Amino acid sequence: MSFYSRTPVDVPKVDTKFRKIVTALPVPESMEIIERLEKYEPISMSGQPPIFWDKAEGFQIYDKWGNMWLDWSSGVLIANAGHAHPKVIEALIEEIDNELISTYVFYHEKRAELVELLQQDTPDGLDKVFLLSTGSEATENAIKLARTYGVKKGGKDKHIIVSFGNSFHGRTLAAQLAGGIPALKEWIINLDPGFVNVPFPDGYFQEDTSFDLFLKSLKDLGVEPKNIAGVITESYQGAGPFFMPKEYAQKLEAFCSENDALLIMDEVQSGFGRTGKWFAYEHYDIKPDLIACGKGISSSLAISAVIGRNDVMDIYPPGSMTSTHSASPLPVVAAIANLKALKDEKMTENSAELGKVLKEGLIEIQQKHSDRIGLVTCEGLVAGMQIVKPNTNEADQKTAYKINEGCFQKGLLLFSPVGIGGRCVKIAPPLMITREALVEGLSVLKEVCNEVL
């Protein structure tokens, strides 16, 4: 709540097909709930717009006071198939009625179905799937596998994990060691020198997008390529979205192959149709060694996965690489239903098609406010606007939050700004959104930007 108004604000009422605002926001009756939450929860949990979810369906969110938002957040890139997809709900009810809700790592039939489904959409040779609970678990285990593989192949010197500046791989220890945001590492007193960051070739913060910079950076850091166990990168950096140049990605793949280092693609927020392809790394025409998945894998309950090469995934013997809720029945059936819905209803194709509409609309907004919107990036149904102080490249977090809050007051929901300095207004609607709803969302964003910028 600290970035958003605590005082209920009366705004012109909204009543359209996709949005409905009938009372002051935040809702006055909600303040008692906010106070209870603030009493018992850490302040870190109070960073989103003050909406109280009561029901979520498709690309719309409802509170219990009659308000309805058009959702451009997908939670946080979770609800790829939309909120409460009927097939997901049906699968969950069926499993609950079957009275199977927890199994540890004992076998159950649906687990076999899910790992097979996940494997079918990966390159030849990536045949093993390890199911977990969160995206951070997936990246942690990918890092663990890469280091174990490296030491096994090249001795203790071959343990270095290379990642990229401004990257985010989760909130647990190894995930944050690999991450490229210094502020998130301040709690780690003894930084592991086996984790190194090199510049990410985004073309915005880092203008040099040549692979030569990657090689030079390793040399400057004193890293010998033969000692690299793995390179981990988000398929697109969430602070943008920022993609690598295709040629760069292909040279990175070749570098990893030449030096027997594992190429790890972090698809936690980019997978399952988000960018108009099933996995975002497909934009590069490369083959990773390990893929970390999460978020949109189920469009609902917590589940994640690492998909990878047989020889890497089978390093650990029975019982030594598990997790308490790995492949728990409810998330598993939700994921199965979600993956089938994404394919049967051609949501990846919808993302690719509507991504063109989204990009065109955002560029139109940016052109009108080019002094304040430093950059627009968009691929499929994930996009971002970098909000800056007038005619500079300096982050303007305050204005980014004003845009976010203005959209919230008008019935368009986004999660709070992200990226370097909190400058990025991130856009990520469910992949089943309609053209009509997307265009209405763009009209709201345009209206707010005209008011704020």
* pLDDT tens digits, 289-317: 999 999 999 999 999 999 999 999 999 99
Nearest to 334 by CA among 377, 292, 298: 298
- How far apart (Å, rounded) are the C-alpha atoms in residues 190 and 107? 40
With vertex at residue 415, the alpha carbon angle to CA 413 and CA 420, rounded to the nearest 5 degrees, is: 140
Do 126 and 307 touch, CB atoms closer than 8 A? yes
Q: Picking from 14-18, 191-195, 324-328, which range would have the lowest pLDDT averaged per residue?
A: 324-328
Q: How confident is the model at residue 11 (pLDDT cuts 50, 70, 90)?
A: confident
The CATH number that domain 14-81+346-452 falls under is 3.90.1150.10
Alpha helices, DSSP H only, in 41-121? 74-77, 86-97, 109-119
User: Is residue 73 predicted with pLDDT exceeding 70?
Assistant: yes
Do 233 and 256 touch, CB atoms closer than 8 A? no
- How far apart (Å, rounded) are the C-alpha atoms in residues 36 and 401? 24
Residue 3: predicted pLDDT: 84
Do 415 and 395 touch, CB atoms closer than 8 A? no
With vertex at residue 75, the alpha carbon angle to CA 73 and CA 77, rounded to the nearest 5 degrees, is: 70
Q: β-pairing, 382-387 with 424-427? A: antiparallel
Query: Is this structure's pTM higher than 0.95?
Result: yes
- The upper half-sphere exposure of residue 85, i.e. CA atoms within 13 Å in the direction of its Cβ, equals 31
Mean pLDDT within 166-190: 96
User: CATH topology for 86-344?
Assistant: Aspartate Aminotransferase; domain 2 (3.40.640)
Q: Which residues contact 161 (CB under 8 A, 6 or more apart)?
A: 143, 146, 147, 177, 178, 194, 195, 196, 228, 229, 230, 231, 232
Mean pLDDT within 394-419: 97
Q: pLDDT of 194-223, one tens digit each?
A: 999 999 999 999 999 999 999 999 999 999
Q: How confident is the model at residue 2 (pLDDT cuts 50, 70, 90)?
A: low
- The 10 Å CB-count burial string (b at 16+, else e) for 314-337 is eeeeeeebebebbbbbbbbbbbbb
The secondary structure of residue 173, as a DSSP letter, is: H
Residue type at 223 in one-letter notation: V
User: Is residue 1 predicted with pLDDT exceeding 80?
Assistant: no
User: Is residue 403 predicted with pLDDT exceeding 60?
Assistant: yes
Cα distances (angstroms) measured from residue 146 to each of 153, 265, 310, 329:
10, 12, 13, 28
Nearest to 379 by CA among 302, 247, 453, 270: 270
- H helix and E strand count, the chain: 13, 16
Q: How confident is the model at residue 453 (pLDDT cuts 50, 70, 90)?
A: very high
Q: How confident is the model at residue 5 (pLDDT cuts 50, 70, 90)?
A: confident
Mean pLDDT score of the chain, rounded to an integer? 97
Could you tell me the two tokens for 159? Answer: 């343990």
- How far apart (Å, rounded) are the C-alpha atoms in residues 22 and 442? 21
Residue 6: predicted pLDDT: 83
Q: How confident is the model at residue 412 (pLDDT cuts 50, 70, 90)?
A: very high
Q: pLDDT of 110-156, one tens digit each?
A: 999 999 999 999 999 999 999 999 999 999 999 999 999 999 999 99
User: Is residue 261 predicted with pLDDT exceeding 70?
Assistant: yes
- E strand or H helix at 33, and its extent? helix 31-40
In the chain, where the domains are located: 14-81+346-452, 86-344
Do 396 and 388 touch, CB atoms closer than 8 A? yes
Residue 268: predicted pLDDT: 98
